[in-house]
Structure 1
Amino acid sequence: MTRPITAGVDGSPESEAAAAWAAREAVRRGTPLRLVHVGTPAPEALALAADADAQARWARDLLEETEQEIAERHRTLAVTTDVLDADGAADALLAVARGAELLALGSRGHGPLVGFLLGSVGRQVIARTERPVVLVRADDKAFTEAAGHEVVVGQEGAPEDSAAALEFAFRTAAARGASVRAVRAWSLPPVFAYSAASLELLDEAGGMEPYEKKALGAALAPWRERFPDVPVVEHVEIGSAGQVLLSVAPRAQLLVVGRRARRTAVGARIGSVAHAVLHHAPCPVGVVPHV
């Protein structure tokens, strides 16, 4: 059974952009599209749906109008719609995401210096879901045609640490006819972090930067083989991962980062790199969980 690409719709301009983005992606990938409304309407729509019955009618009308708008642009796309229980919006979206290829959500953005403003529901979904989530800003129209032809993805650690994010990036680029820019950031470790074994590895590689380039190449090798038609740019740069990714984000169609899917003593967390790009990237951001 083919998983649908799913978008949350609440009447805000951001969710409209997310639905439009999800529809284009569903067409590219040849998957159905599912539109869902969870919880209460967006603040700008509350005046039109003051009580529960009115909100239910408003939600059904909203999904019908959104479906019609998408059908006019993508006549062959299969679209389904659902109004879900308003109680526990995050839990409802998490349940929806489990059966989706990816979940697209809208997120308010006010320029590259402020970027995304994540609501509590969005934060919970990103931190807890086991499926990829893409955050789309209301001004995403600027990125449908004007952006470059790159899908940027962050790679860190061992090959298996970034396998899920790399697969998502390569699959997305293949569907778009785009290239992948794989970014690996590095920094000088403190003196006490050096060991005899690590110094030997660095010496064999010829230094820190050659070592990092070799590590990136190893992580990319299986995905180059699996997607031979996708051009790849290997980008290794000193600096924090968030800063380096944001420096190339303006020319990206999509920025993809991984998130370790584990709970800590204080609960599930988004992660520092994902947090940085979600708040400052000017393009849509995909967050892909991994073990």
Structure 2
Amino acid sequence: MSNRITVGLDGSGAGSVAADWAANEAELRGATLELVHAEDWAQYGPFAAPLPEPSRHWADDLLSLTRDRLLREHSRLDITTHGTRGLAASKVLASSAADADLLVLGSRGLGAVAGFIVGSTGSATIPETDTPVVLVRSAEGQSHPHRPADDAGPVVLGVDLRSNCDRLLAFACEEADRRSCPLVVVHGWSLPPVFSYAPALDPGVEKEMAVGLETTLRELLSPWEQKYPQLAVDARVVIGQSAIQILDAASGAALVVVGRRIRRPALGARIGPITHAVMHHATSPVAVVAHD
């Protein structure tokens, strides 16, 4: 990896908040910060054509002014800028993040009930890159910097014990270690349908299955706890829909980490339903980590 964080800018308040979060993260990592903006001609109509000259100047100003603002608050950061014209934003962001450690994007809030809009660019970019992507929340009209004080909570990780969790655990442990905060690991589960329709047939089944899952989770975490002995790890096996359990644990979190399986189907990659739900409803920044 290049020890670089890439953040996408689009001129919105969400993009500004994402840039501030990325700058704080770059300081934590001692990384370079790259600001990227893509002028996607296709979104302006069926006939692809260069944008008017004033729009080009606006795009250049967006990069330079954001860089200047961030340097006033993070004077030691190494910040670069990259602007591209006439290409799909998702392609530009995925390409820019190919050898980066992290890609950061903003998403706009709709309120406590409606959740958040990840946006077409974010939804298209995440399946196109194997680089971890962090979605940073911005409430409607919010454009103030995301301060380190906002990161006071734990790092929350949602795991599926049937999947390979190594990349997820490595990312989450490193993030919690950098922040010197606890790591909460959540596995949500439900009884198989044959038991859920008639649990009274064997009242001990649920408890027995829960104990087995807790043992499996502890065994999964054991080598990581040895690698990070100073890290406080809270392992939770909870019955209920996985997305709901992760979102419940994620209230006030510094960062929520979920996974996306790397698939190369003929019709394109996709984001799983649990990750999709967390992306759209968590109020904390969400990291989507691709894994096998």
> TM-score band (shorter)?
0.7 to 0.9
1:264 lines up with 2:265 in the alignment: yes
Q: Secondary structure at the match of 2:131?
A: coil
1:182 to 182, 185, 196: 185
Q: Structure 2: any 5+ residue segments left out of the alignment? A: 44-49, 196-203
Equivalent in the alignment of 1:77: 77
Contact 1:8 1:15 in 2 (8 A): yes
* Structure 2 residue 60 is matched with structure 1 residue 60: yes
Distance 1:147 1:3, change over 3 A: closer
Letter in 2 for 1:63: L
Residue 120 of structure 2 is aligned to residue 155 of structure 1: no
Name the amino acid aligned to 1:152.
V
Relative to structure 1, the CA distance from residue 155 to residue 188 in structure 2 (aligned partners, 3 Å threshold; closer, same or farther) is: same
Which residue is equivalent to 1:6? 6
Q: What's the CA shift string for 1:103-157, capped at 9, x where partnerless? A: 0001111223222212222111112211100001124867742564200001112
In 2, the alpha carbon distance for the partners of 1:65 and 1:87 equals 22
In 2, the alpha carbon distance for the partners of 1:227 and 1:52 equals: 53
Where does 1:119-268 land on structure 2 (aligned, <5 Å)?
119-139=119-139, 144-146=148-150, 148-158=152-162, 161-191=164-194, 207-268=208-269
Matches of 2:110 and 2:227, distance apart in 1: 38
Matches of 2:164 and 2:218 in 1, distance apart? 14
CA 143–75 in structure 1, closer or farther in 2 if over 3 Å, else same: closer
Number of equivalences: 274
Q: 1:266 to 1:25 in 2, by over 3 A?
A: same
The alpha-carbon deviation at position 89 of structure 1 amounts to: 1.7
Other structure's SS at 2:111 match: coil
CA contact (8 A) 1:155 1:216 kept: no
- Give the structure with the larger helix fraction: 1
Task: Evaluate the alpha carbon distance shift between residue 272 and residue 279 of structure 1 in structure 2; reply closer, same or farther with a 3 A threshold.
Answer: same
Q: Are 1:289 and 2:287 matched, yes or no?
A: no
Q: Counterpart in 2 of 1:47? A: none
Q: Tell me the residue number matched to 1:100.
A: 100
Secondary structure of 1:38's counterpart equals strand
Moved more, 280-289 or 216-225: 216-225
CA contact (8 A) 1:115 1:278 kept: no
Matched residue of 1:105: which SS?
Answer: strand
Conserved 8 A contact 1:9-1:35: yes
Q: Secondary structure at the match of 1:24?
A: helix
What displacement does 1:265 show?
5.0
| Structure 1 unpaired stretches of 5+ | 44-49, 193-201
**Deviation string for 1:195-253 (max 9, x for gaps)?**
xxxxxxx99x9711111111111221222122222211111100111010011111211
Once residues 243 and 38 of structure 1 are traced to their aligned partners in structure 2, the CA distance between those partners, rounded to angstroms, is 35
Distance 2:209 2:152 in 1: 30
Q: Does 1:25 align with 2:29?
A: no
TM-score, with length taken from structure 2: 0.86
SS of residue paired to 2:75: coil
Paired AA for residue 159 in structure 2:
Q
Post-superposition shift, 1:84?
A: 1.8
Report if the CA contact (8 A) 2:279-2:286 is conserved. Answer: yes
Aligned-partner SS, 1:236: strand
Secondary structure in 2 matching 1:113: coil
Q: Percent identity?
A: 40
State the shift of 1:85 in Å: 3.0
Q: Partner letter of residue 185 of structure 1?
A: G
Q: 1:31 to 1:234 in 2, by over 3 A?
A: same
